[in-house]
Copies of this chain bind each other. A is one copy, B any other.
Amino acid sequence: MTLQQLQSTYEQAKAKKLALDMSRGKPESAQLDLSNDLFDPKWVTPPTAESGLDCRNYGVLDGIPECKRLFSELMGVPAEQLIVCGNASLNVMYDYLTQMMPHWYFQDDGKIKFLCPVPGYDRHFGMLAQLGIEMINVPMLADGPDMAMMAELVKDPAVKGAICVPKYSNPEGKTFSDNVVRAFAALQPACPNFRVIWDNAYLVHDLYDESDALLNVHEAAKEFGSEDFFIEVCSFSKITFPGASVSCVAASPANIAAIKARMNVQTIGHDKLNQLRHARYFKDLAGIKAHMRKHAELIRPKFEAVLDILARDLTGIATWTVPRGGYFISLDLPEGTAKRTAQLLKEAGVTLTPAGATFPHGQDPHDRNLRIAPTFPPMEELIVATELLTVCARLAIAEK
């Protein structure tokens, strides 16, 4: 299209007064419907866990046995090394950070730095910013973060940890290679209680039958004696209901003991009926995987529709990732055009995750990255929004 054609297409779209939302990685309604059978009372009847515990009553801090077993199989971690938690794994990460903050604070005159692979997850950066933690950008390479750079940076004792999404990363959909996972395990941080928040949010969220393989970080750590580095979390948020989920944290025996010691005074415990519901509904990992294939059937066409439009309109102009799982497509435009693209798009009624959000403090140093979340809008709206996105991108590039 010529510039004139782009402009006229844009003006026509604007006149339609659209109100489309591609901002968050939200499941669409049809995905939620896949789990409606969870409402059946049979899953909580009788409400008694395998251990004999009445899940309606008080008791048990770390999760009921059948739910621990399910997470154990899902995460590949012994049941003794995990704690089943409440609705949001974000809350589990935040809690863990607040547990560590006083320890870290008194080590180096209050200096606390975290390594942040970028582009990354905006809510991770939001947590760290609010806790006053200084964030250091580490670029994502083809198979994960720049581990040579990380190995250097951890020599600073003020670097207390890192945070990342190792599989189908947010927003790029990349899965860390075995070498990258091993390089994490091999880090030699100066900080004595260095921690990596290993946010395994998309561990079974495949778009295709064949899943990306992620090396088990707890196993890799055994080789290097670095088991205590890793705090892994995941949840059923994008498996069943983001609004009523069950989450989990897995870590070394020492870390689990520390979390439990705090939990013991922190809470009476998490929702056990929802644990029972999920454990009985899925039974095992095969049950989860069968369920995830239904999700994939619903959202794969959406990812492919977006990718087709990007290929048609932006080849040679921009680059983007082609994820095989997760919830996002990461689009890199020419330097200095992402913000303007998002602004044009917004003025035409399409909301994206704000340009820059995939970097700490919302500061994309190259102003080029946009995160596309294809799952929530209906297909027709998604196509309209994505086509408009490429129009806006080309206009922004032309302006520059």
Q: Does A237 contact B (CB under 8 A)?
A: yes
Interfacial residues, chain A to chain B (CB-CB below 8 A) = 24, 26-27, 29, 32, 35, 39-41, 44-45, 47, 54-59, 86-88, 90-91, 94, 98, 123, 126-127, 129-130, 237, 241-245, 262, 264-274
Give the chain B neighbours of A98 by CB distance below 8 A: 98
Can you pick out 21 interface pairs between chain A and chain B where the beta carbons lie within 8 Å of each other?
Answer: A29-B57, A32-B57, A39-B41, A39-B44, A39-B45, A40-B41, A41-B41, A54-B243, A56-B243, A56-B244, A87-B267, A88-B268, A88-B270, A91-B266, A94-B265, A94-B266, A123-B268, A126-B265, A129-B265, A237-B268, A271-B274
The answer to whether B265 and A59 have CB atoms under 8 Å apart is no
In angstroms, how far is the closest chain B Cβ from the Cβ of A111?
16
The answer to whether A24 and B86 have CB atoms under 8 Å apart is no
Q: A243-B273, A272-B244, A273-B241 are in contact. Are A267 and B57 (CB under 8 A)?
A: no
A-B CB proximity, top 8 nearest: A244-B273, A91-B267, A39-B41, A88-B268, A243-B272, A56-B241, A32-B56, A126-B265
8 Å CB contact of A86 from B26, B123, B266, B271 = B271
In angstroms, how far is the closest chain B Cβ from the Cβ of A63?
12
In angstroms, how far is the closest chain B Cβ from the Cβ of A28?
9
Give the chain B neighbours of A26 by CB distance below 8 A: 57-58
In angstroms, how far is the closest chain B Cβ from the Cβ of A23?
11
Give the chain B neighbours of A94 by CB distance below 8 A: 265-267
Q: A39-B44, A41-B41, A98-B98 are in contact. Are A56 and B268 (CB under 8 A)?
A: no
Q: A58-B24, A58-B243, A244-B274 are in contact. Are A265 and B86 (CB under 8 A)?
A: no
**Which one of A57, A87, A129 has the highest number of Cβ atoms from chain B below 10 Å of its Cβ?**
A57
Q: Residue of B at shortest CB range from A123?
A: B265
With A58-B243, A237-B268, A274-B274 known, 10 other A-B pairs at CB within 8 A are A32-B57, A39-B44, A86-B270, A90-B268, A98-B98, A130-B262, A243-B269, A244-B271, A271-B271, A271-B274
